[in-house]
Amino acid sequence: MSEPAPAATSAFPKVQLHVVTGKGGTGKSTVAAALALALASRGKTVLLCEVEGRQGIAQLFDVPPLPYEERLLARATEAGHGNVYALAIDAESALLEYLAMYYRLGRAGKALDRFGVIDFATTIAPGVRDVLLTGKVYEAAQRNSRNKNARTYDAIVLDAPPTGRIAQFLNVNNELAGLARVGPIKSQADTVTTLLRSPRTAVHLVTVLEEMPVQETADGVAELRAARMPVGGVVVNLVRPQDLDVSAREALLAGTVDDKAIGKVLGATGIKAPMSLVPTLLSEGRDHAERRRLEDSQRALVEEIGVPTYELPQLAGGADIAGLYELASALVEQGLA
């Protein structure tokens, strides 16, 4: 593959909080991790957060499970690159921290736990969980030099809940409406919403070129817009290799390929028994052409959504650490970071 020069600038220079969502199976956590690396390569100090208790970051980067504490995940060796830190946010710890910070609830905090209130507030009480999770992200984003020992971040990447739930998750205000009309959690939700609706935030949606994920992405964008949340880009992930051009694909689908000519070229490369391989290769080629045709029709639908799109290739070896770095450089080249 040739190496195009990195895009001179990022398409989202003013964005501090990158929220990454996507349908299950589309690789949203992988894209979030790659985006964090890409932003760091632009010289930013980055915090990569997860909120679903899956330890996806630890698995991707092959490190021990992350605690509720910011940890150095990737240290830069190149001049001009920043470091990536990681944080696994869970609602229980966020609530206890929140209580300790604002109410100095030492003893009461323990009593709350004993009475099952922490459990209640974080699993049952609708919306509260999401306010706590987004609230912690907000806290990291708002940190500034006032607090001397706090680390500040140029960018935060949030590996968020899936597309089907993203508008609800971010629209914490709405979720609480009708429940908590006043009170501290309501005002917390208000401040968080202000950040989430500002140009400092961008919500990116990860999809693959298949019918249902594309449909869900279009629905997700519509819901986010209705909730006045700033939509960033659509990242099309797991794009099949583009090895065959249009005319080759058309010939394969029409069955007009010259078997003998292909066999001759194969033989010339030193491959043994070339003619016996031709039917297999052509049938693989036809499958590929058929999928590409489907992808193209879905790609047209993605373009209709009307937001910038970015494409990441399917990695034959899977998304291991080396794969993450490849995806990160693709994101830099295309200007998402």
Nearest-5° angle of CA 82, CA 88, CA 89?
A: 120
Closest approach, Cβ 129 to another protein, in A, equals 7
Of 93 and 329, which has the nearer Cβ to another protein? 93
294, two tokens = 């489907």
Of 108 and 150, which has the nearer Cβ to another protein? 108
Residue 318 — left, alpha, or beta (φ > 0 → left; ψ -120 to 50 → alpha)?
Answer: left
Of 83 and 215, which has the nearer Cβ to another protein? 215
Distance CA 61, CA 321 (A): 6
Closest approach, Cβ 142 to another protein, in A, equals 20
Q: Which residues pair with 157 in a beta bridge?
A: 18, 48
Cα–Cα distance list, 203 to 142, 224, 234, 266, 319 (Å):
18, 8, 9, 47, 22
Answer for the pair 33, 57: CB distance below 8 angstroms, yes or no. Answer: yes
Distance CA 328, CA 248 (A): 31
Of 149 and 247, which has the nearer Cβ to another protein? 247
Closest approach, Cβ 322 to another protein, in A, equals 14
3-state secondary structure of 138: helix
Closest approach, Cβ 231 to another protein, in A, equals 21
Of 67 and 199, which has the nearer Cβ to another protein? 67
Closest approach, Cβ 170 to another protein, in A, equals 14
Closest approach, Cβ 288 to another protein, in A, equals 5
Distance CA 293, CA 85 (A): 40
Of 290 and 303, which has the nearer Cβ to another protein? 290
Of 82 and 220, which has the nearer Cβ to another protein? 220
Query: What residues have CB less than 8 Å from 245, skipping those under 6 apart?
Result: none
Closest approach, Cβ 233 to another protein, in A, equals 21
Burial class (CB in 10 A: 0-12, 13-18, 19+), 245: exposed
